[in-house]
Amino acid sequence: MQITDDGWRLVTSLEFALELKKAVMDYQADNDDGLGGPYAFTLMAWAVTGHDINEPPRNDDELTELAAFIMTHRPAIQAVEEACLKHLAKHDAQGSA
């Protein structure tokens, strides 16, 4: 599993930030486990590798590969997180929440 150019372009876009925000809000509405942050981080990792966040890993092998990717690419995923937060802050500041 690796970062793809298309995945990087996607996850650093406003559109992805908004989609991620909705996915996390939906998750938190359905789950009272306090894991919205780790869930978001996992979705960002999945997307930056070129996968659709609406189509999660299908089996244990994909989950294991994703976990290994997260462990070895944490700084890159944190950069994605920062880009998403900047997009959302700018979007919200413009009154378009």
Residue pLDDT, tens place only, 7-35: 999 998 989 999 999 999 999 999 988 88
Residue boundaries of the structural domains of the chain: 5-93
32-80 pLDDT, tens per residue?
888 888 889 999 999 999 999 889 899 999 999 999 999 999 999 999 8
- Span between the terminal Cα atoms of the chain, in Å: 33
DSSP, collapsed to helix, strand or coil, labels residue 55 as: coil
Q: Specify the pTM.
A: 0.83
Residue 82 and residue 77: Cα distance in Å, rounded? 9
